[in-house]
Amino acid sequence: MPRIDPAMEKGIIGKIFKKEGEHVKKDELLLQIVTEKVVFDYHSPYEGYISKIFHKEGEEIIVGEPIIEISDEPFVTEKEQLLETQKIEEIIATPAAKRLAREYGIDLKEIKGSGPGGRITQEDVLKYIEEKKKPSISPIMKIVAERVTKSHLEIPPVTINMDIEVSNLLKLREKEKISFDSFFIYACSRIIKQFNLFLCYKKGEDIAYNNEINIAFAFDHENELYMLVIKNADKKSLYEIEAEHSKLIEKARNKSLTLEDVQGSTFAITNLGVYNVRDFTPIVFPNNSAILGIGTIHYEITNKNGKFEISPVITLSLTFDHRIINGAYAAKFLQKVKEIIEEGKFGE
């Protein structure tokens, strides 16, 4: 099990893309590792043949535990050796079991018979069907459950909401074709040093400090959650942030992410606006003290220079660790974000 980040102690095998006996090329996708921070694609460090797989998909193992053995020479699996030395036994099943299996499109080879001589009965097939109906817990769901529990037990979270008027943002976005994420990454990166408690996090009884402004953004692809990190965002222009944002998303879709792409976040944003969510309570990630949630666009009556207008508005939801940050401090941070977004200060 590779160590994805310095704090990682264990991980879940999300998916194994090769079988025993198969050939694997160097840098070919081999494993999917799920941690509390990220779903990470692990590529083979060298070329060879899969001689042994020690663990199954969905198993949680400690860092350093072997998962796959790769050999230089072609490897014949125990199953292949068995098939070479003996014929496959005919499946024995009752007529009722065979009929039921045909109706449900079930391969009887997957069912262990409980009847005399291993005969598969109708009850065996019915039991198999009931087992398949049960919802399985994916590695992602397991990690989310662990993260929610850890956050609930260790972090006293507070979430505050603030509406921001986004008519200028929408005009610029239409003109420049820039994602919502990039605007908010830019805004947060420009002011976070003024509010450096957002760069701190609790480490045992002490408070640790992150020296870099590395902002992660949540990206969901095929029901897999990625926290992709834009390093040193405060030193990048809006257009550089957008270019890196697009590049990271493309790498996630192509399953070509590296450790550098998912490590080292010091602040995070998550955008549920595309799902028509107005406001929500995001979860603070490990080694961070806050996360900014971005809601959907809605319309409200606003007062502009004494005139009432119907304007596009987004609600921001900022969740923070109350052991480090208080409500007034967080509200001032949001006010600065609001100022940059509403006034369109994206060239500074």
215, 98: one domain: no
Q: Please tell me the predicted confidence (pLDDT) of residue 141.
A: 58
The CATH number that applies at residue 119 is 4.10.320.10
CB 31 within 8 A of CB 12: no
Residues 6+ apart with CB under 8 A from 56: 13, 16
Q: Are residues 237 and 144 in the same domain?
A: no
Indicate the SS3 state at residue 231: coil
Residues 116, 36 share a domain: no
Calpha distance 198→92 (Å, rounded): 65
DSSP states along 112-139:
---SGGGPBPHHHHHHHHHHHHSPP--H
Inter-CA distances, 266 with 60, 147, 156, 159, 252, Å: 26, 17, 18, 18, 20
- Asked if 59 and 193 sit in the same domain, the reply is no
Does some domain include residue 184?
Answer: yes
User: What is the CATH classification number for the domain harbouring 21?
Assistant: 2.40.50.100
Strand partners, 314: 164, 297
Question: Domain check: are 145 and 192 in the same one?
Answer: no
Does 116 map to a domain? yes
How big, in percent rounded to 5, are the helix, strand and coil portions of the chain? 35, 30, 35
Classify residue 221: in a domain, yes or no: yes
Distance CA 85, CA 77 (A): 13
Interior CA angle at 295 toward 306 and 218, to 5°?
145
Q: Is residue 78 part of a domain?
A: no
Give the side-chain half-sphere CA count within 13 A for 42. Answer: 23
Are the C-beta atoms of residues 346 and 340 closer than 8 Å to each other? yes
267 in any annotated domain: yes
Count the helices and strands in the chain (H runs, E runs).
Answer: 9, 15
Residue 172 domain flag: yes
Helix axes 95-104, 122-133, angle to 10 degrees: 30
pLDDT at 87: 45
3 occurs within a structural domain: no
CATH number for 181: 3.30.559.10
pLDDT score for 6: 66
Please report, in tens digits, the pLDDT of each residue of the chain (348 residues total): 888 766 678 888 888 999 888 899 998 999 988 876 567 788 898 899 998 899 988 888 898 899 999 888 876 655 555 555 444 456 788 989 999 988 888 888 889 889 888 889 999 999 998 888 776 666 655 665 676 677 778 889 999 999 999 999 999 988 888 999 999 999 999 999 999 999 999 988 899 999 999 999 999 887 777 889 999 999 999 999 999 999 999 998 887 877 788 888 999 999 999 999 999 999 998 789 999 999 999 999 988 888 899 999 999 999 999 999 999 999 999 999 999 999 988 875
| Chosen domain end from 154, 177, 202 | 154
Q: What is the pLDDT, as a whole number, of residue 179? A: 94
Last residue of a domain, one of 71, 97, 115: 71
Number of domains observed in the structure of the chain: 3
The answer to whether residues 33 and 133 belong to one domain is no
Range(s) of the domain holding residue 222: 158-343
Q: Is residue 323 part of a domain?
A: yes
Q: How far apart are CA 40 and CA 37, in angstroms?
A: 9
